[in-house]
Amino acid sequence: MKAIVEERAAMLGEYIIESKGTVRGAAKKFGISKSTVHKDVSQRLKNINPTLYREVREILDTNKSERHIRGGIATREKYMHERNSAKRRSV
C-alpha cells in the first residue's frame, strides 16, 4: 500500500512539473481530492524525492503568487460574458 502512495506522489509531482499545473488541475486529472494532491506533493514527496519536491514547490509557489491575478481575470471574463448575454437577450 505504501508503494502505491509513493508512486502516486511521484506521478502527481511529475504531472505538475510537465503541465505547470495547479493542485486543483492535478486533482481533476487523477480523480482524487485536492487535499490528497496537496498532501502528496507537499509532505510525502519531500521524503520520497527531494529534488522533485523542490521543482514542484517552485511551480506551486509561482501559482500561489499569481492566483489573485487569475481570479481577477476570471471575474472580468464572467461579467463580460454576462453583459454580452444580456445584450443578446434584449435585442
Residue 43 lies in a domain: yes
Residue 56 has pLDDT above 90, yes or no: yes
Residue 16 lies in a domain: yes
Q: What is the pLDDT of residue 24?
A: 93
Residue 71 within a domain: no
Per-residue CA distances from 27 to 2, 19, 57, 85, 87 (Å): 20, 13, 16, 32, 37
pLDDT at 14 over 90: yes
Q: How far apart are CA 63 and CA 60, in angstroms?
A: 5
Mean confidence (pLDDT) of the chain: 91
82 occurs within a structural domain? no
Identify whether 19 is part of a domain: yes
* Coil/strand/helix, residue 20: coil
How many folded domains does the chain comprise? 1
pLDDT score of 91: 62
* 61-73: b (≥16 Cβ within 10 Å) or e: eebeeeeeeeeee
Domain hosting 7: range is 2-66
Segment 40-51 mean pLDDT: 94
